[in-house]
Amino acid sequence: MQENYPQKPGIDFILKQAFFYWNKTLVYQMVFSVIYLALFSTVFLYFSGRYGIMEQLLGAMSDYMKIGPAGLETYKNDISAIMISKGFQNFYLGLVGTLVFLYPLNLGFFQIFRKIDLKENVELRDLFAGYNGLNFFRYASYFIFWYFLYSIIAQTLILPIIWVMITLFVAPLMFFQNKTIFEGIALNWKALKMFFIEILVCTIVAVLFKYIGFGIFLIGGLLTFPFWNAMIYSLYKTIFTEKS
């Protein structure tokens, strides 16, 4: 496949297209959220209960609330001690492993959106396209690479945002055009330089809409949580032209 960059698209067109794909797949959005949040919550509760993580964190917070600002240094030391404990490390690895396992679930939406474009019938199994054959290992490996670098720069304010933006299209480029991780990043960087404002605005809208459902509509968050994938596909489809 080969990529060409068309004239700059309007932000309103990209947003309308993203909401179109999202609205057409509400049932699959719900299924995705239920699977994702149920599995993640189960693992969280299991490891938290097994190693007493929440009890330790709440205990440290309770002690701090009793003492007040004078106990801030003690509170920091307690939190640090919890975080370097073997129990917390196992808890953290369990959560990261769950995120790695769940990441390919996002790729299913790209197949669903493409089927909508082609006017083909969408099936529930399309949601699990990221787990077909070797797909799981490709996308799980990519997420491990992505998360490893993200965790290193997570303490900074700007670098995580930059990292998200320069890897925004790597997954769809791998999925639709069989690009490698580094080929995808290179193409993503070229697109980012040409469509920076469009990508930035759409990224902000996607993040806000993704989580606003939980803050305002509570259960509605099950529908807005996977919206990010619709925005990525809308941007990808508008910016990249695939040619045989």
d(CA 84, CA 152): 16
pLDDT at 223 (0 to 100): 80
| Structure token digits, residue 91 | 């808890």
Please provide the size of the chain in residues: 244
d(CA 233, CA 228): 9
Mean pLDDT taken over the chain: 89
pLDDT greater than 50 at residue 237: yes
Q: Which band of pLDDT confidence, cut at 50, 70 and 90, is reported for residue 218?
A: low
| Structure token digits, residue 163 | 């990292």
- Please report, to the nearest 10 degrees, the dihedral formed by the alpha carbons of residues 89, 91, 97, 99 taken in order: -120
| Structure token digits, residue 87 | 């129990």
The one-letter amino acid at 166: I
pLDDT per position as a tens digit, 62-112: 776 777 676 678 878 888 888 899 999 999 999 999 999 999 999 999 999
1: DSSP letter:
-
SS (H, E, C) 164-232: HHHCCCHHHHHHHHCCCHHHHHHHHHHHHHHCHHHHHHHHHHHHHHHHHHHHHHHHHHHHHCCHHHHHH
d(CA 186, CA 167): 9
pLDDT per position as a tens digit, 121-170: 999 999 999 999 999 999 999 999 999 999 999 888 889 999 999 999 99
pLDDT at 5 (0 to 100): 47
Q: Which band of pLDDT confidence, cut at 50, 70 and 90, is reported for residue 25?
A: very high
- Give Cβ neighbours of residue 65 (< 8 Å, ≥ 6 apart): none
* Sequence ranges of the domains in the chain: 11-116+123-239
- Decide: 176 and 242 in contact? Cβ < 8 Å: yes
Longest dimension (CA), the chain: 67
d(CA 109, CA 124): 10
Give Rg (Cα) of the chain. 20
Give the count of beta carbons closer than 10 Å to the beta carbon of residue 122.
Answer: 17
Residue 52 sits at φ, ψ, to 5 deg, of: 65, 35
